[in-house]
Amino acid sequence: MHGTNPIREPVQGDGLTLDVQSIFSTLQGEGIYSGWPAIFIRLGGCNLACTFCDTEFESFKSTPLTDILNSVKKLSLNNDGKRIRNLVVITGGEPLRQPIEKLCAALLVKEFTVQIETNGTLYRELPEGVDIICSPKNNGAGYFPVRGDLLPRVNAFKFIISAGNDDYKNIADVGQGSAIPVYVQPMDEGNAHKNAANLKLTTNIANDNGYRLSLQIHKIAGLE
C-alpha cells in the first residue's frame, strides 16, 4: 500500500466474521517456518501505514468464519485428498486488529500449526500454541514500542533492513532480550540495485550480531 492505506482502529466482535483480503496456498517464505507448505489468511486493514509496505490489504470482504475454515480445509489437501499443508499463517494488514481468537482456536483443534505475523502494537489473548512473529515498525522517530503484554508471547522477531532508509538501517532494542530469536530480512524495494545493498547490509548485521538471515524465498521461487 506504500503508506496510502487508511489507518484502521482495532475492531471488537464475536469473531464469527472477519474482514479477509485473501486466502491462498503457497510456501512460507520467511522466518522460523521458511520453506513449509502453508496456507495464508491475509486479513484486511492495518493500524499503521508504512511507506515501504508492498502488500494489498484494503480490498477485503467480510467473510464468515465457517467459510474461512472451509477454504483452509480445501487448500490443505492435494489432488488426492491428502492433507499436505499443516501450517496456517494469519497475516495482514495487521491481524491482531480483528477478533481472531476463535479462528486460531478452531485451527488448533484441527491440528494446524498457527503462526501470526504482527507489528507488535496491538494485543489479543490468543490461545496457547499460536506462534507469534513480531516485526517492529518505525515511525520515523524510532520503533513503535512492542506491547508489554505481547512481549512474553513473541516467539521470534523479524526486523526489516534497508541500506538507504535511516529508519531501517539498524535494529533497536524493543525488548527482545537474548532469549527471543531475531531474524533480519532485507527490505524488498522493487529495485535490484537497492535490494542488493539491502541484502549485503542485512548479511553483515546478521553476521555481526548473531541474528538469523531471513530471505523471502517465496519471491525467489516466484510464488505469491
Which H or E run contains 37?
strand 37-43
| Least gap, CB of 146 to ligand SF4 (angstroms) | 13
Name the residue with cell 499463517.
89
Given the complex with ligand SF4, which of 134 and 205 has the nearer CB atom? 134
Of residues 69 and 215, the one with the C-beta less far from ligand SF4: 215
Nearest approach, Cβ of residue 4 and ligand SF4 (Å):
10
Nearer to ligand SF4, 21 or 76 (CB): 21
> What end-to-end distance do the CA atoms of the chain give, in Å?
16
Helix (H, G, I), strand (E, B) or coil at 19: strand
- Per CB under 6 A, residues contacting ligand SF4 are 46, 48-50, 53, 55, 92-94, 119, 137
Residue-wise DSSP of 68-118: HHHHHHHHHB-TTS-B---EEEEESS-GGGS--HHHHHHHHHTT-EEEEEE
* Tally of CB atoms within 10 A around 132: 20
Complex with ligand SF4: residue 71 or 138, whichever CB lies closer:
138
Pick 81 or 140: Cβ nearer ligand SF4: 140
